[in-house]
Amino acid sequence: MNAGCRFCAIVSGELPATIVLEDEFCVAFLDHRPLFPGHCLLVPRRHVETLPDLGDDLVQPVFSDVRLLSRAVEQAMEAEGTFIAINNKISQSVPHLHVHVIPRRKKDGLKGFFWPRVPYRDAAHLEEVAEKLRAAVNRAWSGD
């Protein structure tokens, strides 16, 4: 637990929330400012700020719960699908990893991503970006 973290306070029961899923690894609750009714936030019980900080021991249980919650939201809300989102640092209103699980329907007014798309300048720019990403992935795999 992290003192001062609103989501840690929800997990510990210090702050109220409408809990919809709770197990030994995660807690999920209704977002207090939903995009649509049924919009949930799933948080690991352990204080983790961003997805890169999530320990290997939590990846499987957290994403198993995300998958379960996605099915439950779709069924309970009679939705056609769900939108799953994680913000890391930017647009992360609470610095505790949380996964948004949002019910979706065709023509519900939510248009893809919430920001403008910026295309690559040309094929060379695309390849330059891809090469930087491949190098970073290789460094991450090697532990650098």
pLDDT of residue 129: 81
Residues classed as catalytic: 98
Task: Quick: pLDDT tens for 62-116.
Answer: 999 999 999 999 999 999 999 999 999 998 999 999 999 999 999 998 876 665 6
How many domains does the chain divide into?
1
Can you give the pTM of this predicted structure?
0.86
Q: Which residue range(s) make up the domain with 44?
A: 6-116
In a domain, 133, yes or no: no
Q: Compute CA distances 35 → 31, 41, 49, 71, 102, whole Å.
A: 9, 12, 23, 18, 7
The CATH number of whichever domain residue 58 belongs to comes to 3.30.428.10
In a domain, 132, yes or no: no
